Structure 1
């Protein structure tokens, strides 16, 4: 029954993994496309924005929808692994399967974060191009205050991205420690059941200990008698 339950949850985790992998791949393609376009001139950005407006849904809307779906899928896979797959694992092979799914989730999370950083950098470049175009239209140079704000925002975002990666690693370590604790708990329970199924084992150990103590006392008495007889024989 436990094996069937584990296999059922495993199939669900595999389905969630494939969905998350597909969404992350789509988001990476979108981020790469926007990053390539943002590396060109501001005129390319203006043409891209005009095409987005004429075509209906913008790439920003697509990215926002994908971000929401990816985060929801990551949370669903995390809950499936932690709350259902890990408790159902009883054998060493099943525990290795749980570990593999944790590693898959960690890798997909890292891929998503890298793609998200690229997307944010492309958006920042777009804002810079917009500011440059506005400044040229007015016959003045680029606004230094806006430039400073964008640089400051970039530094803050990089710090947040680093903090998110550290938190993800901490969550992965915590999950592994939880799995190890569950394994130790199951091993302790197994030892307890073995001790329960062997009646009188504690009494047997005590009897062996008392027998050994009695033998030690007899041996000590014999040695003392021999020493006493030897001394008596030498001095008489």
Structure 2
């Protein structure tokens, strides 16, 4: 009994000593949690910020790569206008649309790169790395290359369009010259035809005049023959009148008839000359 009581007393004293030791550790634990809790909260906040920053960086980079791919596709379409041998004098609707889309995407990429730069600056030493700096520099370099490519394509398209417009103007001048030459040739041909027609009219008039003159000469010759015949008849009548009484009055009548025939002949010749002059 005494042994058991001694053992129980020893256990009680041991528990009392442990309890007093635990009681002494309570302020230490309080101090530990007092200083450790803010540190743990800060670590949690930093971890959350790092996770959110990493997610935003990945999304922005994905958008930037997608826009770079779209830019390459639009460059492939826009470059076709620079390779055309003949461009319209004014840009087509599709050409203007492609160029405006390229400008819009380049501006969007510029804004995304600015967001990436601000996000990288906000990270400071938390999650910033040389890899992200290289990625940002690569995006900027690609954007500069695409802007230079756009300027080169614009210059090539403008040069091709100017050359096409120059060739078109030259062709227009050549066609205008040919049309003018053809018109002048047609005018010359028409003038030559008119001159030929007038020459034909003159030749016809000359032929008519020759015919009229031939007829006049024939009539004159016929009148000469008639005059000789009448002269012979007159001589015979005069010879017979000298032997036959009353013949003088008959000779006088014959002379009057001759004068009348002479007047008629003169009027006829005058009419013939008037006809020739009129048709000339």
With normalisation by structure 2, the TM-score equals 0.39
Q: TM-score, normalised on structure 1?
A: 0.46
Question: Which protein, 1 or 2, shows the higher relative CO under an 8 Å CA cutoff with sep ≥ 6?
Answer: 1
